A and B are shown apart, each in its own frame.
Chain A
Amino acid sequence: MSSSKKVITKEEWEKKLADVKIRKEDMNKLVMNFLVTEGYVEAAEKFQMESGTQPDIDLGTITDRMAVRKAVQCGNVEDAIEKVNDLNPEILDTNPQLFFHLQQQRLIELIRSGSVEEALQFAQEELAPRGEENHAFLEELERTVALLAFEDTASCPVGELLDVSQRQKTASELNAAILTSQSHEKDPKLPSLLKMLIWAQNQLDEKASYPRINDLVNATLEDPVT
């Protein structure tokens, strides 16, 4: 069956690839977009100086955004909330899910610090009303409060809430919301280009055998399967 597929050799492939022209400016813009979106402000500044590429957003706003993100990553959620409210009060006022996740993160931090009583009071006063407004929130709240039931959180089935990854998740959600409020796309463009590459390869697989890229990081062209 495989014989029906067209085989394209590495040489032919490379020759075809060499014919495709990509402008340097476009490459630079992609890099800048990545740096800005991900918040690497110093790298973006240096890159701007060296390549002359204009960032698609005021670099000053990145600093504010990163300060908010960092606060969440350090577990300082209340500080992050105050900062984001100073940036633009609309963000949390019009995004109930994000607001809930920040409050949930606050609860997690209280539990982490062992302030059981404070945690319970906070859950009751701040989070319970949100749970009444939205059933999905209530379930998440119940899951979070379950952390209190275990002496040893390592054995707790919802122990992953205490992981650093949970802080990262919350921080990313907040980061994305700030970017959206600044009319900026919340995801960098590079990952979607890579997704497109994988999709295109999958489509092509059905029709031809060609030097595929399996290792995205090194972009090595594999030998075509015959």
Chain B
Amino acid sequence: MPASAAWARPEELVESLSSLDNTARLKALRDVKNQIIGNKTKKLSYIKLGAVPRVVEILASDTEVPLLVQSAAAVGSFACGIEAGVKAVLDSGVLPHLLKMLSNGDNKVVEACARSLKMIFQSTLAPKSDMFQGHRMELIIELLNSENDSVAEVAASVLARCCETVDHQRALADAGGLQSLVGLLNGSLKTREAALDALAALTRGNKQLCSTLTCMDQGKSLAMIMKLVKDKSSRTRLLACTCLANIGKASPSSLHQEREIRAGMLSILVKLFDEPGQVGEEAPGVLADLVSNNEDLQKVAMDMNSIEKLAEFLRKDEISPKQLAGVLMALAELCSRFEDSRKQLLDLKVQAPIIAALEHDSVGVRAAACSCIKSLSRSVQNLRTGLTDELLVLPLLKLLSDSSSDIQALALSAVSNIVLDFKPHKAVVFRCGGVSQLIQLSQSMDPILRLNAVWALKNLLYMSDKTVKERVMGELTFNSLVDLIFDSEEKVREQAMALVRNLVYGDVDSVQLALVQDSVLLHAVEKQLHVSTQPEICIQGLYIVSNVAAGNEVHKEAVMDIVIPVTSVGVNRNTSLLMRYLQDMSNPQIRVVALWCVINLTFPNSPGVSSRISRLRDGGIEAQLQSMVDDPCLDVKDRAKTALEHFSAVEVHSR
């Protein structure tokens, strides 16, 4: 009777795994397997005794079905629940043997090997990319169509785990994976859930596959997934929601007519928050995906009180990193557009745990916390009342040198928001060396980091005083700023121009900054105004010259030389920058800012105003202004009138 038979000593048992006698080998194998299943301590001690290579050896060289089944089961158990076990079986080179056995003629062998693979692939150590070599993927996809339900289930869950990149998704779909997985949705509960899991992995962030799935079988597949949203099993509900959230996120219009369905999914997800285990853990993250970029759904979610429910999680002592990241992401999405949501969240007084999450060990949590702060800091009101704590700025600045560039970029966006229009934060950023970090990042090779860093510096300079401007420029240098004005990335160029605009805005000292170092900034701006074809960049350029034109006589004259230069043959009527932009019919804003420039240059009672006006007249500007009184844009009309008043004031004056 096995129940009373005492097991042999572990060392002897391991020895017997390599016995030449088949019966002894099988017995040892079974004994080891039965000892390690469910028992981490035993797994570790058998790994130390070197049992794994011997078990794998049986799988590699034996042919008898019971031996193969038992060794595959033992491998699976070693790989279940402990990373050391996964490492041990992979180091023993088990993967090719397991894959080879999937084509074994015996169903039991195939099932046991497929289960082992599933265990291995639940670990992060699994060699996911290896599965896309040779014909391995085809082999697994073939198993999806297996008669044996549990083999199909295991195959689907392996696919769910190893599909991580767009290339993986494409390879899987090209091999026919999508169709086979959809076919499994009619299977047993576990098979269906594994198939949904794999479909979720296939559709994540993949527009093309989302639309393929949407259109498959005249929409019947999609309809089936929609039905599963109301399934009895909570895991099925969650996974079906995940698939549909992916589809909604990839192509917001594809589910447009099913607004009700999506609102229904929201209430299902909110209820799933309370489920124990994996389902409750993943539900907040799925909600985040679902409401992302969808204001309509964000409102529905708010009405369901989801912000309060999510905030509740932040008060818990113990929360898994995955769940925490999901909760923070969901809050970030819900607070991304609506002031009401932000206020509600701040009123719940969970700032401390959100800020603490900025320093979490998990990259996912840090990123989600950063997104949350970014959303919250979008409103000035909140910055004044709810997020004034210096404790926020320090961890955020720390993330500017995070090891993940995604997090650096997110942190930069959050910093951008908090330094805008809020003096105390600007001061803290200075005190903590944040400015140096921003300047360093503005020189990064990563275009996203460069862009976000310039953006943050631009916001920092917005309405800032002389000391802030001098310190930033002292460290950034005018030459680096000019480099940024001519950056290879269009977006960076635009932000660099906007930075200059904020820099030279304000008192005469600020305007003077455009003229230091032989007017290096002004010349760069002039060049952009000549060559750029991007309206956004031109608008920023015009704002800059307009700001400078608001300065003293020297400044105004410098602008005159740019916008309406005098050449050897006098003032050219048609080719001046000013004329070009006043006549630009592509964008009324361009004309408005160009008019501001005229207004600032012709401001009455300034000493040189009459000579400037006569030069502008010579350049045909007054005539142009008269034609603009009938402009289709009301703003343009009004400004043109103001400018013309300046012209006539001087006329009267000179008479």
**Residues of A at under 8 Å CB distance from B?**
76-79, 81-82, 85, 88-90, 92-96, 99, 126, 129, 133, 181-184
Contacts and interface: CB of A to CB of B under 8 A. Distances in A.
B120 interface: no
26 contacts: A77-B3, A79-B1, A81-B37, A82-B2, A82-B30, A88-B115, A89-B33, A89-B76, A89-B115, A90-B115, A93-B37, A93-B38, A93-B76, A93-B80, A93-B119, A94-B80, A94-B81, A99-B37, A99-B38, A99-B39, A126-B39, A129-B39, A181-B190, A182-B188, A183-B149, A184-B189
B34 interface: yes
Contact of B40 (A90, A95, A133): A133
Contact of B37 (A92, A126, A182): A92
B110 to A, nearest CB: 14
A183 B73 contact: no
Contacts of B37: 81, 85, 89, 92-93, 99
A111 B209 CA distance: 60
B189 A96 contact: no
Interface string B113-124: 001000100000
Nearest to A79: B3
Nearest to B6: A118
Contacts of A78: 2-3
Nearest to B111: A88
| Most chain B CB within a 10 A radius of its CB, from A79, A81, A89, A184 | A89
A181 B115 CA distance: 12
A137 B292 CA distance: 42
B298 interface: no
B81 A93 contact: yes
B3 A85 contact: no
A93 B77 contact: yes
**B-side interface mostly:** helix
A183 B189 contact: yes
Interface in B488-543: none
| Most chain B CB within a 10 A radius of its CB, from A93, A95, A184 | A93
**A-side interface mostly:** helix
Contacts of B76: 89-90, 93
B191 A183 contact: yes
Given A85-B33, A133-B40, A183-B189, 5 more contacts: A79-B3, A82-B2, A85-B73, A129-B41, A183-B191
A92 to B, nearest CB: 4
Contacts of A184: 189
A156 B86 CA distance: 45
Interface size class, chain B: 20 to 34
B134 to A, nearest CB: 28
B189 A89 contact: no
Contacts of B41: 129
Given A89-B77, A90-B80, A93-B77, A183 B33 contact: no
Interface string B70-102: 000100110011000000000000000000000
A220 B168 CA distance: 63
A82 B38 CA distance: 12
Contacts of B191: 183
Interface in B585-634: none
Nearest to B149: A183
A96 B76 CA distance: 16
| Most chain A CB within a 10 A radius of its CB, from B38, B73, B76, B149 | B38
Contacts of A89: 33, 37, 73, 76-77, 80, 115
Interface in B181-210: 188-191
A92 B38 contact: yes
Contacts of A181: 190
Contacts of B30: 82
B80 A85 contact: no
Given A89-B73, A129-B41, A183-B191, A82 B34 contact: yes
A99 B30 CA distance: 18
A99 B115 CA distance: 19
A129 B80 CA distance: 17
Nearest to B115: A90
Contacts of B1: 76, 79
A167 to B, nearest CB: 14
Contacts of B190: 181, 183
| Most chain A CB within a 10 A radius of its CB, from B30, B34, B37 | B37
B235 to A, nearest CB: 11
B38 A96 contact: yes
B96 to A, nearest CB: 21
A129 B34 CA distance: 17
B297 to A, nearest CB: 32
Contacts of B189: 183-184
